[in-house]
């Protein structure tokens, strides 16, 4: 399975670095081609693997595509490219409540693809879904909205509860990072968990895609806590099971 990342910002850079250090070859695309080139060179430095800059169309050819984009941009891309995304594993890292992408129904948010006639989610027309761009519990997750826009793809929620800077470093105070992974497609979820583990992190199976609601709320809670503590996306969660 070959991989690509679309979005060469903080999260794209961090995921690309982890994969490069794990010896993977991965395509990295951004609408700013120069940014993709710069970040690809930076994250490949000293790594066993290789991050190759690409345009978005080329990145869409990969079997497993990480959308490291604001939620709104992921939805717009899905609306335009749903045919090319059919049959692909699409990893959604978005946290709509972080202000990076104005959530469903939020200002400039998912109303555009809704208006373009995207499918209803969970029996409710998408236009009636409550705004996600608030720090309140939501009826539906960004990941489910994305899955509704690309029904022939396998959407997997991952990486959203880990700050980009700690993800880039791969550890926090010497502690291995956990990445929570949710999807309705068991094979796709397993593929992402295996990739996460190869990347030197610990992947956890968080069950069905609807559990992305909890994961996005967890990230929202983390953001609020980070605001209080004056942190800057430098935090992650650790699950401590009694095996």
Ligand X SMILES: NC(=O)c1ccc[n+]([C@@H]2O[C@H](COP(=O)([O-])OP(=O)(O)OC[C@H]3O[C@@H](n4cnc5c(N)ncnc54)[C@H](OP(=O)(O)O)[C@@H]3O)[C@@H](O)[C@H]2O)c1
Of the pair 23, 107, the CB lying nearest ligand X is at 107
Tell me the closest approach of the beta carbon of residue 18 to ligand X, in angstroms. 13
Burial bucket for residue 68 (CB in 10 Å: 0-12, 13-18, 19+): buried
Q: How far is the CB of 243 from ligand X (least distance, A)?
A: 27
Smaller CB distance to ligand X: residue 49 or 70?
A: 70
Q: Which is nearer to ligand X, 157 or 189 (CB)?
A: 157
Beta carbon nearer to ligand X, 35 or 191: 35
C-alpha 172/C-alpha 166 separation (Å) is 6
Q: Which two tokens stand for residue 217?
A: 């709320």
Residues contributing to the site for ligand X (CB under 6 A): 6-12, 30-32, 35, 56, 68-71, 73, 77, 93-95, 98, 100-101, 160, 163-164, 233
CA distance 180 to 234: 17
Smallest distance, ligand X to C-beta of residue 45, A: 19
* Of 55, 59, 3, 65, the residue nearest 31 (C-alpha): 55
Measured from the CB of residue 242, what is the shortest distance to ligand X in angstroms?
Answer: 28
The residue whose Cβ lies closest to ligand X is 9
In angstroms, give the least distance from the CB of 123 to ligand X: 26
Chain centroid to Cα 213, Å, comes to 13
Measuring CA to CA, which residue among 13, 11, 3, 2 is closest to residue 43?
13
Which CB atom, from 48 or from 89, has the smaller least distance to ligand X? 89
Q: Least CB distance from residue 172 to ligand X, whole Å?
A: 13
Residue 52's φ and ψ, nearest 5 degrees, are -105, 120
91: three-class secondary structure by DSSP: strand
Dist. CA 192–CA 5, nearest whole Å: 13
Quote the CA–CA distance of 65 and 60 in Å, as a whole number: 7
Q: Which is nearer to ligand X, 10 or 169 (CB)?
A: 10
């Amino acid at each position: 399975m070959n991989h690509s990342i679309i979005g060469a910002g903080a999260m794209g850079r961090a995921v690309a670095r982890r994969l490069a250090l794990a010896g993977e070859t991965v395509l990295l695309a951004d609408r700013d081609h120069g940014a993709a080139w710069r970040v690809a060179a930076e994250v490949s430095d000293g790594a066993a693997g290789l991050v190759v800059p690409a345009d978005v169309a080329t990145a869409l050819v990969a079997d497993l595509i990480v959308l490291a984009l604001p939620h709104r941009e992921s939805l717009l891309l899905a609306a335009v490219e749903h045919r090319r995304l059919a049959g692909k594993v699409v990893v959604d890292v978005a946290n709509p409540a972080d202000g990076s992408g104005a959530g469903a129904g939020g200002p400039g948010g998912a109303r555009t693809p809704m208006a373009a006639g995207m499918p209803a989610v969970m029996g409710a027309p998408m236009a009636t879904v409550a705004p996600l761009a608030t720090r309140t519990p939501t009826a539906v997750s960004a990941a489910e909205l994305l899955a509704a826009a690309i029904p022939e793809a396998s959407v997997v929620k991952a990486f959203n509860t880990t700050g980009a800077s700690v993800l880039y470093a791969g550890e926090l105070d010497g502690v291995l990072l956990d990445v929570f992974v949710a999807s309705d497609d068991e094979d796709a979820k397993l593929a992402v968990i295996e990739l996460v583990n190869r990347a030197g992190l610990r992947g956890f199976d968080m069950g069905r895609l609807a559990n992305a609601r909890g994961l996005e709320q967890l990230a929202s809670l983390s953001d609020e806590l980070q605001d209080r503590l004056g942190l800057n996306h430098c935090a992650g969660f650790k699950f401590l099971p009694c095996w």
